[in-house]
Amino acid sequence: AQKITQTQPGMFVQEKEAVTLDCTYDTSDQSYGLFWYKQPSSGEMIFLIYQGSYDEQNATEGRYSLNFQKARKSANLVISASQLGDSAMYFCAMREAGNQFYFGTGTSLTVIP
């Protein structure tokens, strides 16, 4: 079974609108971390936001927020007030015990002017 599932290969959003990128995960661990990364066309992977499994509040970082629903095992990324520079691939990842990160297949976001 896939550890991380991102079901949206591509998404479009109008500039200044909000967009939600979906991520579901599969783990039997009680303690784990969820991460979102942005990868522009230039190739570097940029860490955006983190959510711990025991965190009761949804994580927020500027225009990024994480809609964490533990019972549903989902950790969706919300980008508010989209900008042209937000056009990129977005990867959801999970870290369980140990040092391995599990990545989803990514969502390609295009912001339309």
Partner 1 sequence: DAMVIQNPRYQVTQFGKPVTLSCSQTLNHNVMYWYQQKSSQAPKLLFHYYDKDFNNEADTPDNFQSRRPNTSFCFLDIRSPGLGDAAMYLCATSRNQRNQPQHFGDGTRLSIL
Write out the two tokens for 24: 């579901």
Closer CB to partner 1, residue 92 or residue 111? Answer: 92
Kindly state whether residue 25 participates in binding partner 1, applying the rule CB under 8 A. Answer: no
Beta strands 88-95 and 74-79 are unpaired
Is the CB of residue 1 less than 8 Å from the CB of residue 102?
no
Q: Using the rule CB under 8 A, which residue among 19, 66, 68, 95 binds partner 1?
A: 95
Binding-site size, partner 1 (CB under 8 A): 27
Going from the C-alpha of 87 to that of each of 3, 24, 32, 56, 108, the distances in angstroms are 25, 22, 28, 30, 8
Residue whose pair of structure tokens reads 């579901």 in the numeric block: 24
Kindly state whether residue 38 participates in binding partner 1, applying the rule CB under 8 A. Answer: no
Kindly state whether residue 96 participates in binding partner 1, applying the rule CB under 8 A. Answer: yes
Least separation in angstroms between residue 16's CB and partner 1 is 27
Kindly state whether residue 105 participates in binding partner 1, applying the rule CB under 8 A. Answer: yes
* 51-70 binders of partner 1 (CB under 8 A): 52
